Amino acid sequence: MLTILLALILGLAFLLYGMHILRYGLQAFAGDTFRDLLHQMTATPWRGFWSGTLATAALQSSTALTVMAVSFVDSGLISFRNALGLILGSNIGTTVTTQLLALPLEPMIPYALLIGGLGYLFFPHRWRYLALSCLGLAFLFLALNLLESGMAPLAEVERVQELLHQLGDHHFQGIIAGTLLSAVLHSSSATTGIVMILASDGWITLPTAIAFVFGANIGTCFTAVIASLATNRAAQRVALFHVLLNLFGALLFFPFLTPLALFLQWIGGPVSLQVANAHTLFNVLSSLIAMPFLPLAARLLERIR
């Protein structure tokens, strides 16, 4: 338990420090060209949507992109409204992780640390601040990796497994459990992977597994919310939007759990694939449904002082 606590504290410390370095480096490096590129990528909701989808699929982490979006808004590189499309896209991009074998982030960390550290010391002028941003990203990925690997042993604790087994076919409890587990593991993909095993072994039914997936998407917002505590109000609204988006999706699809499970069974495939398909359908449909309501959501969130 002490090891888990230390991993949590160190992980959060690295996360906040990495965000600080990333934000400072971007602010120092940002010129008109970089700002124009960010604005072009997020100039419209659909551009932000596709940019968020592709970036998250490449990073294999919606949490990383969400934290970066919070950092971009906090540093003034993009506006609050322009970041919302990125968040919608990140929810779709993260489904790649459950459908394909995720590329490990660990090999990237030492190279990013090396390039960032040496670049900051030896690169000329503004480029040294871009290297500093690379160093901040390295700390960010290191933090996410530390949080996930440090918390992962909880999933192997017999008592935790027993609690999951006792859920049986209780859907609402499944959402709550998925939220808590994803918040602890700091990864909806890790939670979904665990749920795949539980459903395949028959410990929980497919509808309950889908409820876990809904909760996992809510719980994965925890990291961005924590990271936003040290940012300005606009950046905090981005993190809040991410939470509300996943809550909206869970509430929207909760009444249709059983029909959705029957549909996935009709599509066929192993139970683990059905759970992965549920993760994909949930994120794709909830993001597409939420897209027309972005202006309204932005206006409502901007009223929060």
Residues 128-145 pLDDT 10s: 777 887 887 777 777 766
Structure tokens at 121: 């010391």
**CA–CA–CA angle 233, 126, 13 (5° rounding):** 45
Q: Which range, of 97-106, 120-129, 194-203, averages the lowest pLDDT?
A: 97-106
Q: Which range, of 6-15, 60-69, 93-102, averages the lowest pLDDT?
A: 93-102
**Rounded Cα distance, 55 and 60, in Å:** 8
Of the two residues 1 and 245, the one the predictor is more confident about is 245
**CA–CA–CA angle 81, 23, 68 (5° rounding):** 50
Dihedral (Cα; 292, 294, 295, 300), 10-degree rounding? 130
Q: Which range, of 26-40, 84-98, 232-246, 291-305, averages the lowest pLDDT?
A: 26-40
Query: Residues 186, 144: contact at Cβ < 8 Å?
Result: yes
Residue 34 pLDDT > 60, yes or no? no
User: What is the residue-wise DSSP string for 168-204?
Assistant: TT-HHHHHHHHHHHHHHHT-HHHHHHHHHHHHHTTSS
**Rounded Cα distance, 205 and 174, in Å:** 10
**Rounded Cα distance, 230 and 17, in Å:** 11
For residues 122-139, one letter each, b for 16 or more C-beta atoms within 10 angstroms of the residue's C-beta and e for the rest, the string is ebeeeebbbbbbbbbbbb
Tens digits of per-residue pLDDT, 223-258?
Answer: 777 777 777 777 778 888 888 888 888 888 888 888
SS3 55: helix
User: Domain containing 112: what range?
Assistant: 1-303
Amino acid at 106: E
**Rounded Cα distance, 207 and 281, in Å:** 14
Number of domains in the chain: 1
- Nearest to residue 206, comparing CAs of 230, 174, 160, 234? 174
Q: Name the phi and psi angles at 41, rounded to 5.
A: -70, -25
**Rounded Cα distance, 61 and 63, in Å:** 5
- Nearest to residue 52, comparing CAs of 75, 68, 29? 68
Q: What is the pTM of this model?
A: 0.68
Residue 48 pLDDT > 60, yes or no? yes
List CB contacts of 267: < 8 A, sequence separation 6 or more: 274, 277
**Rounded Cα distance, 217 and 275, in Å:** 13
